[in-house]
Amino acid sequence: MIERQALTVTQVNLYIKHVIARDDILNNVLVKGELSNFKAHSSGHMYMSLKDETGVMRAVMFRKRSCQAQLQTPKRNESFG
């Protein structure tokens, strides 16, 4: 039996970054979903969930990016990003 080797957090992060950078879809993805569980933290970061009929993904917008964002409440309560 092959012994599994644990990866460091850095190794996993670098691997995921590499996979996303080489994937034409993930490299420039836009995600459409309903915004829920929105929280603007005192640090300036914004935490939220994006959901649709069958799935949910958690998301964060860090302070540097959130300061640049011009958030408006969409008419249909959908978010893109």
Residue 37: what pLDDT? 92
Question: End-to-end alpha-carbon separation of the chain, Å?
Answer: 43
Residue 11: what pLDDT? 97
- Non-local (6+) Cβ contacts of 61 within 8 A are 45, 46, 48, 69, 81
Residue 2 or 54, more confident? 54
Condensed to tens digits (0 to 9), the pLDDT of residues 23-79 reads: 999 988 888 899 999 898 898 888 999 999 999 999 988 876 655 565 554 555 555
Residue 22 has pLDDT above 70, yes or no: yes
The structure's pTM equals: 0.59
